[in-house]
Amino acid sequence: MSAPEKVPALPRAADLGLIGCHVCRLVCREAPDDDGGMECPRCGSALHRRKPASYTRTWALLLAAFMMYVPANLLPIMRTASLNDVDDNTILSGVKELWVNGSGDLAVIVFVASIMVPMLKFLVLGTLLISSQRRTDWAQLQRAKLYRLVEFIGYWSMLDVFVVALLSALVRFNVLSRVEPLPGVIFFGLTVVLTMLASMSFDPRLIWDSRDSDD
Amino acid sequence: MSTTSPEALQICEECDTVHRRRAMTHGEVGKCACCGATLEHYHSLDPNTMLALVLTAFVVFIQANLWPIVTLGLNGRQSSTTLWGAIIAMWQEQAQVIAVIAAATLFFFPLVKMLSIGWLLWFARQHRCAPGFVPIMVTLHYIGPWTMSEVFVLGALVAIVKAKVYFDVMADPGIYAYAVLTVLITIFARVDMRELWNMRMKESV
Ligand SMILES: [Zn+2]
Ligand SMILES: [Zn+2]
């Protein structure tokens, strides 16, 4: 890793007429059949140099996720009802409650998983999309690392959804005490699924396709 | 360009850089020189050990699903739940979307994953290619990112802490089974099942 600035560029598959199967990673020679499509000889999946329509799909999924994200945060996700009191909780108020009741560490974990991770995903994927579409070679290594981070932590956001599911099943003492899910939790679950789909449909190879390389 | 056969090469999944495969020693991790992504972990994937692990995980998974996870007490009354209790509660309380997500990511996908891996390894152990090898491997590729048991364990912990403020809380055996399952899943995550593609190649040539 201590290589100087000018290392001889490593060959990329597209330059050598090779394609790596996205499913089984077999290295194949590019040889389109009559309709221009190619199939992996080992697993039968369609071969693509880049994930198909990566920009369009990722943008669409990211925007859809964002449209779910707004109500997910504004609407309450859970209702706690007891004899003399009905209380609607949002994601943020749930974090606050943990904090106030002296579980600071868990409050931080829930805050990171439910609020920071989704925001980070929007920011990172948005940045990756815009910078890759402009075919810049700016901070390629850092962008590649950010993508890996987002892929790795994305699904932990489902944490709050499972908490609501468990509490709704547990706290069922008729009029004495009840917990019910509210629509916010549905929007939140959908946000997580959509952001996961968005990061999967983004092709990190695009980060490295700067202006001089062919497409 | 025509001097090397494609089998001697590997392509980085994240940046499309072509690397020459090289012999690796046990425990070594191959990184892409361009983007730093992991190219391959080298471990002598021993099907017998792996199969034992999968069977253990399967038994623990059954227990984690059958045994109650937590019990709450309020004025002498008790209430407990299992994973399916939570899924059904979501279905009944107008949150069917969540019920489907939870059933898929916490029950069906992990189950399919374990059964598939077990099936493939059972045959790999005898140096045979399992019936349905290709569709099973492709299915594993697609459901891979959609199993969330480890998130559920943390979720149960948060739920317990939240409930503790108002109720008597007892952790039930199910939560321990889930904790063990999480450890097993972590061990699994280090093993790249795609090694099996290469094992098959060697036989069929
Ligand atoms: Zn393939
Ligand atoms: Zn790379």
Instruction: Write down the domain spans for chain A.
Output: 1-49, 53-208
Q: Are B63 and B173 in contact (CB under 8 A)?
A: yes
Question: What is the ipTM, given to two decimal places?
Answer: 0.91
CA angle B96, B99, B103 (to 5 degrees): 145
Tell whether the model's pLDDT for residue B167 goes beyond 60: yes
Amino acid at A49: R
* B154 closest CB neighbour out of A18, A28, A159: A159
- Rounded to a whole number of angstroms, the CA Rg of chain A reads 23
Mark yes or no for CB contact A165/B98 under 8 Å.
yes
Model confidence pLDDT, tens digit, residues A149-164: 999 898 999 999 999 9
Residue B44, pLDDT score: 62
Tokens of B194: 């795609």
The pLDDT of residue B138 is 94
Euclidean distance between CA atoms A54 and A147, whole angstroms: 14
Q: Give the number of whichever ligand sits closest to the CA of residue A41.
A: 1
Interchain CB contact of B81 with A (< 8 Å): yes
Rounded CA gap, B187 and B181, in Å?
A: 10
Range A99-110 average pLDDT: 91
Ligand 1 centroid from CA A2, angstroms: 34
Q: How far apart are CA A68 and CA A190, in angstroms?
A: 7
> What gap in Å lies between CA B126 and CA B30, rounded to an integer?
28
In this prediction, residue A215 has a pLDDT band, given cuts at 50, 70 and 90, of very low
Show residues of chain B in contact with A17, CB under 8 Å: 1
Q: How far apart are CA B17 and CA A193, in angstroms?
A: 30
Report the distance separating Cα B87 and Cα B99, nearest Å: 5
Name the DSSP class of A46.
B
Secondary structure in 3-state letters for A124-169: HHHHHHHHHHCCCCCCHHHHHHHHHHHHHHHHHHHHHHHHHHHHHH
**Alpha-carbon distances of B38 from B13, B15, B33, B41, B86, rounded to whole Å:** 9, 11, 10, 7, 37
Q: pLDDT-derived band of residue B200, with 50, 70 and 90 as boundaries?
A: low
Query: CA angle, corner A11, sides to B19 and A206, nearest 5?
Result: 100
Tell me the average pLDDT across B174-179.
92
From the CA of A12, the nearest ligand is 2
Residue range B148-160, pLDDT digits in tens: 999 999 999 999 9
Determine the pLDDT at residue A211.
59
Matching residue, tokens 């390389």: A213
A193 vs B43 pLDDT, higher one:
A193
Q: Is residue B201 predicted with pLDDT exceeding 70?
A: no
* Predicted TM-score (pTM) of this structure: 0.91
How far is A15 from A10, CA to CA, in rounded Å? Answer: 10
Do A24 and B194 lie within an 8 Å CB cutoff?
yes
Does the beta carbon of B34 lie under 8 angstroms from any beta carbon of chain A?
Answer: yes
Min Cα–Cα distance to chain B from A33, Å? 19
What token pair was written down for A201? 């449909």
Percent of chain A with pLDDT over 90: 67
Top residue of A51, A87, A160, A166 to mutate, by most chain B CBs within 10 Å, is A166
- Compute the nearest-CA separation of B107 from chain A (Å): 13
Dump pLDDT digits (tens) for B81-140.
Answer: 999 999 999 999 999 999 999 999 999 999 999 999 999 999 988 888 889 999 999 999
pLDDT of residue A176: 81
At A205 the pLDDT is: 93
Residues in CB range of B94: below 8 A, 6 or more apart: A181
User: What is the biggest distance separating any 2 CA atoms in chain B, rounded to whole angstroms?
Assistant: 79
Distance between CA atoms of residues B176 and A21, nearest Å = 40
Please state the rounded mean pLDDT for residues A96-120.
Answer: 93
Q: Is B17 helix (H, G, I), strand (E, B) or coil?
A: strand
